[in-house]
Structures are given as structure tokens and as C-alpha cells.
Structure 1
Amino acid sequence: MILASYLFYGQGNGLYKFQSENGKYGFMDENGKIKIKAEYLRVGDFGDGLCYVSKEVIKKGYKWIFIDTLGKKVFDIQDNFPQTGFNEGFAQISSFEEHWFVNKKGINEFGKTWKDGYGGFNNGIAFVSDVKFSDFYPINKKGERIDPKTVSRIEIYNSRKNDNSDIKDEIELRSNKLIAFQENDLWGFKDDLNNIVIEPKFYLVDKFQNGVCAVRINKQEFEFANDYFLDAIIDEKGVILNEIEMHCYLGFQGQLIEFYGAPHFGGGVHYLNKHGQLVTPIE
């Protein structure tokens, strides 16, 4: 049975979250096979084999628990809020007054709390603060402060964005065989010897990944602000695999391509596989 669904990205441990026609969330694999039934009001993303989910509304908002990739409850966090999912063995939890880090058993790993925190662990470092909203400093995986200097949220965001961009660029460099070029306002692709492989005939192109690339084949008379719109997937020979409107295109997220159904991240998130085919949740 195929479920009428809106899809929302949540790739982690090979699982992608989706919203079924009953309005609740579940998880599927990259082929659309439902692995965890849609029975949750809210869900996070899987990391380190765990994900926070909620079936119940409480005074503070939602009652959160962590589940494993089989949908089994691992631990709950009482009336607290999951500030992050798991990464590098830890998740940040908040009571809105205090922040701390739990291990995969739900235990406060460092036996201490902070007034604020920004994100989870990344490359062995997390950022916390003894005051709200400012003066963040790094800690290691023992919960120890490792630098006397403090930084702002924006500084943390920019530094981590640059780190992630470096990683992404390396991945794309390894996977890209073709290089985009523009001629007479149209885009095509050359190989690394500067030979034209795909003649310039597209109004906009993304980068090749996993042997496919999103492009724009129809000229747009009107552009929505902040809407990265593409309308087809091609292979490395320039053959159109699928002509489909893709708003706010985000490229591969794990094994699937992610995009939205409308401008400004509206219309629900949808997925395509490496062949440019829509992936829909199935029992």
C-alpha cells in the first residue's frame, strides 16, 4: 500500500522521516520502505542510532523520548527538551533554565549543567555558557573548558559552517566528473580536459553528484526570492531523467536528493533517488 504523504528530511542511520496522511511522522529507508510506523506527533533526526520523538503533548510542549532504529524506546528525558540529537556519542538536553549532555543511556555524562549551550559536539568540541545567549566557550568530551576566550552564537555558526563547507567541497570534488561553464547565458558541462561533454542549453545548473545533476530547462519569467528553483534531473550525458519542479533544492542529503514542493520551503519536502525517481513511503 502506498501512503499519501508529505516528506520531511531526516536522514541519519539510513532513515528518512516522513509525514503520513494521518498527520503523524514515521521513518523510511532510501527505497521508501517504512521502517518505523507513522505514530509520532514530532520527530527529530537519527544520529548515532538514536532519535528523539514525541507522542504526547504536555504543559511544556511535548513529552520527548529517544528511540532506536527499530522504533524501540531507549530512554526518556522527563519534561525536558532535546536541544540536539545525538552526534559523537552525546545529545544536548535543556530544561530551558539549564543545559547538559547525556550519553546514549540518557545519563548526564559530565555530572554538570550550564546556563546555555549552542549545538552538539563537532570534532570533539561543544560550546556552552555560564550565562544566557552569550559568552560561549568550548568544552571537550570530558566536559572540561579548553579555551579561556568566549565567542558569540554567530561566531560559532560561521566557524562550523566553514568546517562543513570544507567537508562538503571535498566530497563534491571526488564525486564531480564534469565542470559547469556558461556560454551566451546558457550552461553546459566540460570534462577536466576542457572538452565539452554537454552543450550549453540550461538556464541554471547545480553540481554533479552520484552521476546526476539538477538543472533548469525552462526559462523563468519571475524569480521568487531565496528560492533555488530547478526543474529537471540529468545524467552525465545530458539525458533528462526526470522533469520535475524542485523548489529550495538542497541536493543529496545522504542517499536521496531533497527539495521542497513550493517556494520558501513550502509544499512539503520531497525526495528523489540517484536515478531521479520520486521516493514514496510504502508498507
Structure 2
Amino acid sequence: MLYPIKRNDKWGFINEKGEIIIEPIFDYTDHFSNEVCRVSNKLSEIHFKYNGEIYYYTSSTIINKEGDILFPFKKNLTINRYSDDVAFCYDEKLKKHGVLDKNGEEVIPFIFSTSEIEYSLFSNGLARIKKDEKYGFINKKNEIVIPFDYDKADNFQNGYSLVKIKNKELLINKSGEIYKTKHKITSVFYEDRAIVKLKNKYGFINENNELVIDYLYDRIVGVFTEGHCLAKIGDKYGLINTSGHTIIEFKFDNVRWIGNGVFPAKIGKKWTLINLIGEIKFEPKFEHISDFNKVLESRDYFDAKLTRAEFNKEDYYIDIQGNLISKIETIEKEIVYTELRELLSKSVEQKQVWDKAEWSYDGFSITKKGAIKPFYFILKCFKKIGLLTNEGIDAYNDKNNLEIGLYRFMFKEDAASFLDHFYEYWYEKQHIANYQIDPNLKFEDDENIGKYWEFYKQVQYNLIQNKENKVEE
């Protein structure tokens, strides 16, 4: 299977070895589900503000596992996760939801409000819909199959939905027939086991309505997987089998679901992975580990080969041995800007130009009078080509300010990104801030920074062309 990763603010996918299979070219992606994955790009010229946040309208489509785009990007469309070969989608102009198939064709018109379909998807041929504060189910022809009789309802799984009327939870099948039981049922059946509850204790029944595991547990974690389930007694977690026998003693501080033959467990303050016979795969070292079981996320794979983990406050994918396979998000400017660095490196000498002048970009700045000049030169250069913001123009006009610094908000996006590379590289190269960026710069009417800017624009153009060519291919 494939796993989403973020590189330089774009999303793509890796395989279980950490190899990039689908290049990071999308603004947003989901996980693969139903053999496809939704992808989106922002329409930066169209945005709106809500509760103080900026939201961008998008253009969206779906891709297959080879990265092929399955239908043209549709503007102002948000696609939810595919299941049963269809997905609920939101039209940002109509402000309504409808259903599209994998060809991008309309299956059900855009007629639903957000409250009517929130968290709904098609499963077992049916989708949950809310009308007048009651839940029922429709088919793909938008025909009502199960009336709107329920106060709560879950999406169908394994042929059943857990519904609620007043305070009573029930299981119904796809015909709307109630599974009759004297027990208080709290889940659908997995591996012929459903969770039941009595006086704050949990047990299990089978589909013959027999109590096969007594009410012994304070909590059940997940469902039965590979013949095992995690449960809690008191403040500790352990592992049981379908007969209710304890396989691993109740000794863990926290656990996640079983998947791929292991489950994450917290021992003290750190997490590790435990196999189904109780062996610790490695010494606890992670701040958190997600599970390898993706059944409730409507994924294509019940057992993932990789899962997310937090290590030293950074997010990684790990395998069941605890190996770090890949960072989930990285910035790799050095890969695409090697040529720019080489250009900046030519004929460099460490010359102290201004006496004790300390300067920086997008950070603190304590400057002496003589160090102001290069800042104004940078501002003047980008003012000429229209890439200063209003704040940048104000800073340029304030020539008597002896504490001026350069900040990203003074520059429009392209210029700010350029200066990110320009200043970051030179700070790393010289290791100090008391040297002029380039000894050749006169900071009067100098062409050097303009030369670097033109080169940068060409690099950006080439990257965009490469991405577009990959999409067309």
C-alpha cells in the first residue's frame, strides 16, 4: 500500500520501504480508500475568511495507485473518501453535497446539506442520511431503504448498523430488521463477536445471541482481530482471545488496536509494539504510536505495513520492528536549489564589511547605522519589480529607522521564498552574521541580486513545468 508524505509543502506517497511512488505535487491528499485517493490543489486567487482564518477554494480529483488522475480536476469541489465506488462531495459554490462515481460522474445530485450527510459514506450499498433530526438510509438511487426513525446511526459495517432509539442501542441489518437480543449491544459483529454492556462492565456475544465472554472488563479497545482483542481491567490493559482466555496479562498503561500481528502499548511514559504472544518488539522509545489497523478508516487494507509514530517530537512512519522508515513531513530545499547555491558560492571571501553589524532575515535584528544600507538595497530591489507588501513599502520609506530588519511579511510570496534560500544558505555557509552576503555586492546600484533573482525564477519555472509534465503523463 501507499502512505502520504509531505515534501516542501506538497503531498505525495511512499511505499512500505519509504520510496517515493507518487511525487509530491498536490496541496492536499487523503489516504487510499476503495483503490483511489482524493487529491486537491488550492485555487489561490479565490479565498474567503471565516472566524479569522483564511480558507481557499480548491480543485479536486482522484488518483489511482499509479498516480494517474482519473478525471479532470473539478473546481470548487471537495471530495470525501471513496467507498462502494462512490464518494460524497461538496460543491463550494452551491454549498451542497452530492455523490460522484470514480469517473467524476454525478450519481446523486448536489442536494444534501452538511448536517444531512456529515461523516456519512456508502457502505454495504447504503448511506446514512439525517432528516428532521432523525437518521435513516438511502441507496445510490437516492431511494429511502430504511426510514428516518433513529436518533443516532452508524455507517454500515459487516452487514449491520448500530442505531439508537431514545436511550436504547440496537443492531439493524440492511433491510432495517432489528437483531433481537436481551443484551445491551454496543458494536457490530467482528469475527462472530459483538460487544455488550451490563452495569459498566463489558463482555461479548456471538451471532447466535450467546454470551461467550462474561462481563468482566472495564473497557474494550477495538474489535476482535486475528482472534484477539484488547481489554481493560482496572487501570491496566491486556489481551484476550475469542474464548475470553487471557493471553497477555493486564499490565499495560495504554494500548491501541491490533493490526499486522502487533499492537502499540504504553509502558510508563513511552510506547512500543507488542506481538500477540506478548513479546516486546523493541524497548519503549516513542512518544506515541498509531495502530496498524485501519478498518474504521474505510481504508483498502485492514493491516497497514507502516504506521505513524512520534519520536523526539517529530512524526515518522515506522514498521512493526520500530524502524524509522520515513519522516512524514520534510523540507528539502537543498535538493532543488543546488545550482543556486553553487552560483551564490562563486568567488566568496569572508570579508568583514560593517563593524559589529549583526543582521538577520525573518528574525531578530540589532543593527548599527552602517548596516542599514544593505537592508534598504534589498527593499529597493524588490520594490522596483513590485514584490513588496504594504509593510515592505512602509519599511523602505522609513529610512531613518536604525533598527530595521528584513521579514517575510515585507515581501510577496515569491520574493519571500527567494530570500529564504538566499539568507539561509549564506548564514549556514559563513556560520556568522557579521559578514556581507556577497563581497561583490555594492548595495548601491548593483546587478548581482537581480542576477540571482532571475536564476531563481528560472528554477521555479522548471519545477512547475516538470510537475505539469508528470501530471499530463
Which of 66, 78, 84 in structure 1 is aligned with 2:80?
84
> What's the offset of the Cα at 1:176?
4.4
Deviations 1:21-68 (A, max 9, x none): x12111122332221011111112222222221233242522212222
Structure 1 stretch displaced more, 191-200 or 82-91: 191-200
Contact 1:80 1:93 in 2 (8 A): no
How far apart are the structure 1 equivalents of 2:289 and 2:12?
A: 23
Change (3 A) 1:247 1:115: same
Aligned residue type for 1:245: F
How far apart are the structure 1 equivalents of 2:251 and 2:135?
A: 49
Structure 1 residues not aligned, in runs of 5+ = 1-13, 221-229
Contact 1:120 1:126 in 2 (8 A): yes
How far apart are the structure 1 equivalents of 2:257 and 2:135?
A: 36
Q: Percent identical across equivalent pairs?
A: 21
Aligned residue type for 1:258: T
Which of 72, 87, 93 in structure 1 is aligned with 2:89?
93
Contact 2:86 2:99 in 1 (8 A): yes
Aligned residue type for 1:234: I
Contact 1:233 1:240 in 2 (8 A): yes
Q: TM-score, normalised by structure 1?
A: 0.68
**Larger Rg over CA atoms:** 2
Deviations 1:221-247 (A, max 9, x none): xxxxxxxxx512233253342522243
Bigger strand fraction: 1
Which of 233, 254, 264 in structure 1 is aligned with 2:273?
233
User: Which residue of the partner structure matches residue 8 of structure 1?
Assistant: none
How far apart are the structure 1 equivalents of 2:146 and 2:240?
A: 47
Structure 1 stretch displaced more, 77-86 or 267-276: 267-276
Question: What secondary structure, in the 3-state scheme, does the structure 1 residue paired with 2:224 have?
Answer: helix
Which of 18, 40, 57 in structure 2 is aligned with 1:32?
18
Aligned residue type for 2:66: L
Change (3 A) 1:94 1:182: closer
User: Which residue of the partner structure matches residue 61 of structure 1?
Assistant: 57
Bigger helix fraction: 2
How far apart are the structure 1 equivalents of 2:232 and 2:37?
A: 42
> What's the offset of the Cα at 1:272?
2.7
User: Which residue of the partner structure matches residue 126 of structure 1?
Assistant: 127
User: Which residue of the partner structure matches residue 212 of structure 1?
Assistant: 262
**What is the alpha-carbon root mean square deviation over aligned residues?**
4.1
> What's the offset of the Cα at 1:122?
1.6
How far apart are the structure 1 equivalents of 2:317 and 2:102?
A: 30
Question: What secondary structure, in the 3-state scheme, does the structure 2 residue paired with 1:280 have?
Answer: strand
User: Which residue of the partner structure matches residue 115 of structure 1?
Assistant: 112
Aligned residue type for 2:126: I
| 1:173 and 2:224 are equivalent in the alignment | yes
How far apart are the structure 2 equivalents of 1:195 and 1:135?
A: 40
Higher relative contact order (CA 8 A, sep 6+): 1
Which of 276, 279, 282 in structure 1 is aligned with 2:325?
279
Aligned residue type for 1:98: K
Contact 1:178 1:191 in 2 (8 A): yes
Question: What secondary structure, in the 3-state scheme, does the structure 1 residue paired with 2:106 have?
Answer: coil
Aligned residue type for 2:322: G
Deviations 1:81-116 (A, max 9, x none): 234121101111222422211111111124x33132
Aligned residue type for 1:42: Y
Question: What secondary structure, in the 3-state scheme, does the structure 2 residue paired with 1:138 have?
Answer: strand
Aligned residue type for 2:38: Y
Contact 1:242 1:276 in 2 (8 A): no
How far apart are the structure 2 equivalents of 1:190 and 1:130?
A: 41
Which of 59, 65, 70 in structure 1 is aligned with 2:66?
70
Contact 1:176 1:209 in 2 (8 A): no
Change (3 A) 1:31 1:150: farther
How far apart are the structure 1 equivalents of 2:253 and 2:247?
A: 17
How far apart are the structure 2 equivalents of 1:191 and 1:168?
A: 13
Q: TM-score, normalised by structure 2?
A: 0.44
Aligned residue type for 2:321: H
How far apart are the structure 2 equivalents of 1:140 and 1:192?
A: 34
Question: What secondary structure, in the 3-state scheme, does the structure 2 residue paired with 1:71 have?
Answer: coil
How far apart are the structure 2 equivalents of 1:261 and 1:106?
A: 37
Contact 2:128 2:154 in 1 (8 A): no
Change (3 A) 1:55 1:158: closer
User: Which residue of the partner structure matches residue 156 of structure 1?
Assistant: 153
Contact 2:265 2:271 in 1 (8 A): yes
| 1:23 and 2:9 are equivalent in the alignment | yes
